[in-house]
Amino acid sequence: MKDLYIVGAGGFGRELLGWLRQHPDCWRLWQPAGFVDDNPAALHGFGVDLPVVGAPDAAPVDKNSLFVCALGRPEVKRRIIGTMRGRGAAFVTFVHPSAVVGERVRIGEGSVLCPGVILTCDITVGDFVLFNCGASAGHDTVVGAYTSVSGHVDLTSRTRLGADVFVGSHAVIIPGVEVEQGAVIGAGAIVVSPVKPGLTVFGNPARPFAP
């Protein structure tokens, strides 16, 4: 049985620990062993029964260790995962037992599907993608690597998300719309037209953010 370390000791990391313990592979193929985080005090005051074992450049990487990603911001994920993979770290793909995954759904390495996620059919999910609680994707959707889909987001049929996209909670992307690399979709946004690379949009209908 291998040791499984959670990369990221923030709030989502603490949530993920509980969900790992609900998975049938827990204590059969792997056991939660600790957290990887730059902040050694990240868990102080929360009563978590596992330690922070080190920063990404010092975490225990060996044949008996596995890792799971608990990071939300795409640019942070890409940087930290790159550091760890460069050291030879092996990442698991985590699908919570309550998630519904339909036929011909391909899920990339290191991706995380939280409780209540629904992926219907003929969907492609890239590496290190996060689908948070209650998010869903309709048929023929494509989601690029390192993208994060927040809770209760609705990616309707044939939507296409590029790499490094962040989608805020309760956002809706209507059928066939493309959101290009690095874009940010604000919480509650209704996306009815294509979103260009790196653009931040909010509102209903979603429009470019003007600070």
Using an 8 Å Cβ cutoff, are 125 and 140 in contact?
no
- Boundaries of every domain in the chain: 2-92, 93-203
Q: How far apart are CA 62 and CA 175, in angstroms?
A: 44
Using an 8 Å Cβ cutoff, are 27 and 3 in contact?
no
- At the top level of CATH, which class does the domain 93-203 belong to? mainly beta
Averaged pLDDT of the chain: 97
What is the mean pLDDT of the segment spanning 36-57? 97
Phi/psi of residue 153, nearest 5 degrees: -75, 145
Q: Provide the 8-state DSSP code for 5.
A: E
CATH node for 2-92: 3.40.50.20
Using an 8 Å Cβ cutoff, are 38 and 53 in contact?
no
pTM of the model: 0.97
Say what the pLDDT of residue 211 is.
Answer: 66
What is the mean pLDDT of the segment spanning 151-166? 98
- Four-CA torsion 117, 122, 148, 39, nearest 10 degrees: 80
Q: How far apart are CA 109 and CA 128, in angstroms?
A: 6
What is the mean pLDDT of the segment spanning 161-174? 98
Q: Is the pLDDT of residue 111 over 90?
A: yes
Say what the pLDDT of residue 205 is.
Answer: 97
Three-state DSSP class for residue 19: helix
Say what the pLDDT of residue 179 is.
Answer: 98
Say what the pLDDT of residue 209 is.
Answer: 82
